[in-house]
Chains A and B, each alone.
Chain A
Amino acid sequence: MTDVALLLAQVEIRDRSGPPSCQQANDFFCPGWVAENYDRYVDPVLQHLVLVGTSVAAGFAIAFALALLAHRIHWLAAPLLAVTGVLYTVPSIAFFFLLLPITGLGRTTAIIALTAFTLQILFRNIVTGLANVPPEVRDAGRGMGLTERQLLWRAELPLALPEIFAGLRIATVSTVALATLAVFVSGGGLGVPIYEQLTFKTNVIFAGGLCIAIAMAFDLALVTAQRAVTPWLRVTT
């Protein structure tokens, strides 16, 4: 490259001959770099929150409906558990690519796969929660003249809440970790900055750390919600 070209180039060719900065040398962790560049993680974090929030909400809605069904029609529990179990066992990355020909690239594909992953945990916990309600409660309720539906909503579900929340916590934390894979189907999320600069240690550590922080935040929020919704229990976890 000639000096003339150097002079004429309006894009400044930087001098990298001096000692490398922390990020240029790819040191273990560069707090200074993070302080200057944290804004590039804002969008991925927001996308990540959308992915997790939507998947868990959809998963909960579906699992709840299925659990109520299994509560009413007992023999459905085992087959539903098996089906959701398959969806849980199949690695999500495989699921993403199985969906690809049908739903194409984008957030929808990621959300469908993530939702499928949460189903088993949520379904199993809701069903178990309802099943663990002591029979005396049911008898007492019927004795008081409650209908089946009132019994469900006023007695059984409230008592099942701890188990349900436990399932929600597990499902949410797991989904936060999994949602990083959405980058492979152009679904956004924190996987994007990680994958874009895979060898940049500070980037991977920070983005991974953000993931864990988000998971812990969700967990804390759910624990708080649980305490608020079940004032009659001392929740110790």
Chain B
Amino acid sequence: MRNDKVRWRALLVLLASLALVIGVAACGDDDDGSDDGGGGGGSTEQIQSNPDNGKVAITVGSKNFTEQLVLGEIYAQALEAAGYKVEKKLDLGSELIAKKALETGEISGYPEYVSTALTSFFGVEPGQVPSNPQQGAAQARAEFEKEGLTSFAPTPFASANAVGTLKETADKLGLTKVSDLKGKSQQLTLYGSPECRQRVDCLVGLEGPYGLTFKEFKPVDIGLRYSVLDKGQADLSILFTTDAQLAAEADKYVILEDDKQVFPAGNVVFVTDRATVKKAGPDYQKTIELVQSGLTEAVMQELDARVDIDKETSEKVAGDYLSEEGYIGG
């Protein structure tokens, strides 16, 4: 009687709110078509599969650390959505190996940092690397074209090498910028990637322009750059400014300021050979530049975090990025 009525009304309200919630959830997913994803002015249109592209085989390569693996996956999956026959050869190695693979035709293209390209391939002094992304990308492109290669437009985000350490170490030794290491570095061990030994924006730059000598430089695989700090084995480690760990554990790690401009930041450009560009048609460049337009620094760092911290695979993270941004239909 009265109790039954109350119960019926409660049930009705419950069902109605349930329906509302379900409706909002279902509608909330259909986000494509809205502009300006990622706060970087990138457009989010869906990639259309072009059957003509099916005759073209493209091999996407990448270098051997998380950010590169994610980028490689993003480009590979995007090109696949555009209808190309895509093969992946990710995790090739460092920049010289990747470039070699490109030159020998082992891969069709890979993502490279403008700063790395200019300093490692084309002998530009780190201090001379343009800070304007468009300028840097144009300079890199001009240099690549001298070698039968070419590169596309730059990503919104840029990344740089950095000397990093635990906050406690920095506080204890009073380190805020790299120059502060002068006089102290002889007692400290530095860990970096194997190729750091020969790069002007790495150990060579620290020993040259900064004039530092270290107690020991130990080359380790890039994937270990944080664990060596955590375990107390390394006093200093070479990190990347877009690393997820820096944002997620902001009070644990500290990057020393690069006051002598030895570690230039570089946006990523997709480097490829001109033959593939001609063969693949306009969709090649269009697709690449489309999907990377959503990669702001925040987004790239988030994607890196999903792999390094949440332990998802780069393949899944890339796929999620493409569908969350609406490049690939959900």
Contact = CB atoms under 8 A, between A and B. Distances in A.
Interface of A: 1-2, 4-14, 16, 21, 23-24, 33, 37, 40, 104-105, 183, 186, 192, 195-200, 202-203
A4 B311 CA distance: 28
Given A11-B37, A11-B320, 9 more contacts: A1-B297, A5-B39, A5-B298, A6-B298, A10-B44, A23-B310, A23-B311, A24-B309, A24-B310
Contacts of B296: 5, 9
A33 B223 contact: no
A185 B325 CA distance: 34
A10 B305 contact: no
B89 A105 contact: yes
B223 A16 contact: no
B259 interface: no
B67 interface: no
Interface of B: 31, 34, 36-40, 44, 69, 89, 91-92, 101, 106, 221, 223-224, 226-227, 248, 294, 296-299, 302-303, 305-307, 309-311, 313-314, 316, 320-321, 324-326
B92 A186 contact: yes
B92 A198 contact: no
Contact of B39 (A4, A33, A196): A4
A204 to B, nearest CB: 11
18 contacts: A1-B297, A5-B38, A7-B39, A10-B34, A10-B325, A11-B302, A12-B302, A14-B306, A24-B311, A104-B106, A105-B89, A196-B314, A197-B307, A198-B223, A198-B224, A199-B223, A199-B224, A203-B311
A192 B90 CA distance: 10
Contacts, number: 91
B255 to A, nearest CB: 16
A7 B39 CA distance: 8
B310 A10 contact: no
B311 A13 contact: no
B240 to A, nearest CB: 15
Given A16-B305, A196-B69, A199-B223, A11 B311 contact: no
A8 B226 CA distance: 31
Given A9-B296, A104-B106, A14 B305 contact: yes
Contact of B313 (A9, A40, A183, A198): A40
A1 B311 contact: no
Given A105-B89, A199-B227, A16 B309 contact: yes
In the A-B complex, the 9 residue pairs with the smallest Cβ-Cβ separation, listed nearest first, are A5-B39, A8-B39, A10-B37, A23-B311, A198-B223, A1-B298, A199-B227, A16-B248, A9-B38
B39 A11 contact: no
Contacts of B311: 23-24, 33, 37, 197, 200, 202-203
A5 B40 CA distance: 8
A12 B69 contact: no
A224 B310 CA distance: 42
A198 B31 CA distance: 36
A88 to B, nearest CB: 28
Nearest to B220: A198
Most buried by B among A7, A11, A196: A11
Nearest to A2: B39
A180 to B, nearest CB: 14
Nearest to B310: A24
B38 A10 contact: yes
